[in-house]
Amino acid sequence: MNVFRDSRPAAAAAPSARPTPPPSLRQRLTELRGPGIRPRALDARALAALAANPGCRRRALLDGAGVDKGALAQALGSPAGHGQSRFALARGNSFEARVKADGGAELLRLLHARLPSGTPAPEEGEVAAPDLAAAGPEGRAARTALALREATAAGGWTLLDHPLLAVEVAGSPAYVEPDAVVVRPDGVWTVVEIKSFPMIDGAADAAKVGAAARQAAVYVHGLEGVAAQVTAHGERPARVGDRVLLVCPQDFSNLPTAAAVDIRKQLATTRRQLARLTRVDEIAAALPPDTTFDLHLADDGRTATRPADELAAAVETVDAAYAPECLAACELAFHCRGRSRERGAVETLGRGVRGELGSLRTLDEVLAAAAERTADAAAAPADAPGHGAGPEHPAAPERAPEAPGAAPDDTDPALAALRRAARLRAEALGTAGPPVPVPRTAPGAEDPVCR
Ligand code: SF4
């Protein structure tokens, strides 16, 4: 019997013993979504919301991995409470089709009227409308960039219907799709946002206009990268306008009207916040290796079969930064709010209150800090009936700071303000005893007052 001795190094001789190379980011993000699940595209509304909460690593990772947060929230038992209805979407689509009818003649007329540039309005047949179809988002974004370059070089009017723009978000590309971009003969590119909320007597709901401006700022941010390349390599310089055209139905009709919206402030905020996002690869690298947000969908492709507690444990591996603003902007808001309330985190009271409370991180710490000093100030002995931390007030000693040795800093101005408020409240109620404990909402229960 011949015996062959393997002379290769041990590592080469035993492939199974070789260290497995870490998965690439793309592979890791696929694992996080679940095998065979297509990544969910980010729209500008989602990007604007992400930019509004740059401290939330959870959202940055889930959006970066293309996880369907709505389906995840449903599987967690906390479905999102917002989103556009089918009727609103249908109404919006039909209004947009009307605005863009006849080669965008009405849209160009509105643009020329609201954002005059000194160039004559385009005549019929003078507006180019390039075909932007291509395979995949990368192909469509490249086709858009080429069309913008050609339109700028041509020096005429061009209407790009639903161009696709790439925006780098936390180190990975995201694709956003404005309703339209118009290239003027002077090389200025203007973003057009078409919304179905009405403009009554020339004014629209300020909150809706603000949301549209934040969305448009994401598009302008995406266009700026293309404009820089066109200017560097093209024949004529390109510039992205910092005023966008907002088109809405006029009064209560279906006729379009428009307004120019200055988005410089929103653009500066978007740039700053997107730059602050932690890179997705850093967040993914810090996760336990087997973490996944796979819902284990049943054969119907919609029903999640993975247990909710297992999913919740996976979600908890990534830090969140909950704030009440999440309720209007993120599908996971009810889940994150529930967890935040269970911990008694002061963030549930809003960013303003969180900032005011300084080093106090939980409601228990806040109540304990206020109760301590009020009890100190009590005229009656601490063990007298009805005062202090006796059996009649069992809540007071329970409100000590949670972490041992984590007593609040006496020099904290927030603490001084709290104690003063507690003293004033005690005086107003005619008692020097500790404040009446505030009932805490049970986990998962709706608080009728505080969102
Ligand atoms: S709801 Fe949760 S995941 Fe979404 S942004 Fe707020 S904290 Fe982050």
In order along its 451 residues, the chain shows pLDDT tens digits of 433 334 344 444 444 455 666 668 888 888 999 988 888 877 777 888 887 888 899 998 998 888 999 999 999 999 986 666 778 888 889 999 999 999 899 999 999 999 988 888 888 888 999 999 999 888 999 999 999 999 999 999 999 999 999 988 877 778 899 999 999 999 999 999 999 999 998 899 998 999 899 999 999 999 999 999 999 987 789 999 999 999 999 988 889 999 999 999 999 998 988 887 778 888 999 999 899 999 999 988 889 999 999 999 999 999 999 999 898 889 999 999 999 999 999 888 888 888 888 788 888 888 888 776 555 555 444 444 434 333 333 333 333 444 444 555 667 777 888 888 888 888 888 765 555 555 455 544 544 444 4
Spacing, Cα 254 to ligand 1 middle (Å): 36
Separation of 275 CA from ligand 1 center, angstroms?
18
Helix ranges (DSSP H) in 255-392: 264-276, 280-285, 308-316, 333-343, 351-356, 363-376
- Based on the domain organization, do 259 and 315 belong to the same domain? no
Counted domains in the chain:
3
| 1 falls within a domain | no
Examine the fold and report which residue of 348, 364, 391 is the final residue of a domain before the chain moves on.
348
b/e map 333-348, b = 16+ CB within 10 Å = bbbbbbbbbebbbbbb
Query: Is the beta carbon of 191 within 6 A of some atom in ligand 1?
Result: no
pLDDT at residue number 307:
95
- Between the CA of 320 and the centroid of ligand 1 the distance, in Å, is 6
Q: What is the pLDDT of residue 84?
A: 67
- The answer to the question of residue 27 being in a domain is yes
Q: In a 3-state reduction of DSSP, which class is residue 27?
A: helix
Res 398: pLDDT: 38
Q: Identify the DSSP state of 15.
A: G
pLDDT of residue 384: 41
Task: Please tell me whether residues 327 and 403 are part of one structural domain.
Answer: no
From 317, 332, 343, mutation site for ligand 1 pocket: most ligand atoms within 8 A of C-beta: 332
Of 273, 298, 314, at which residue does a domain stop? 273
CA distance 219 to 167: 9
| Ligand 1 center to 329 CA (angstroms) | 8
Q: Are residues 112 and 244 in the same domain?
A: yes
Whether 268 and 147 share a structural domain: yes
pTM greater than 0.75: no
Q: Is the CB of 57 under 6 A from ligand 1?
A: no
Asked if residue 343 and residue 360 are part of one domain, the reply reads: no
Best of 42, 50, 56 for a ligand 1 pocket test (most atoms within 8 Å of beta carbon) = 56
Q: Are residues 155 and 303 in the same domain?
A: no
- Do both 202 and 250 map to the same domain? yes
Report the SS3 class of residue 127. strand
Residues 198 and 49 in one domain: no
Pairwise CA distance, residues 303 & 82, whole Å = 20
* 9 found inside a domain: no
Three-state DSSP class for residue 219: helix
Strand 127-128 to strand 157-161: parallel, antiparallel, or no bridges (unpaired)? parallel
With respect to residue 92, please indicate whether it lies within any of the assigned structural domains.
Answer: no
Residues of the domain holding 315: 21-83+276-348
Residue 74 CA to ligand 1 center (angstroms) comes to 15
Domain ends where: 304, 328, 348? 348
For residue 363, how far is the Cα from the chain centroid? Answer: 26
Whether residue 170 is found in the same domain as residue 247: yes
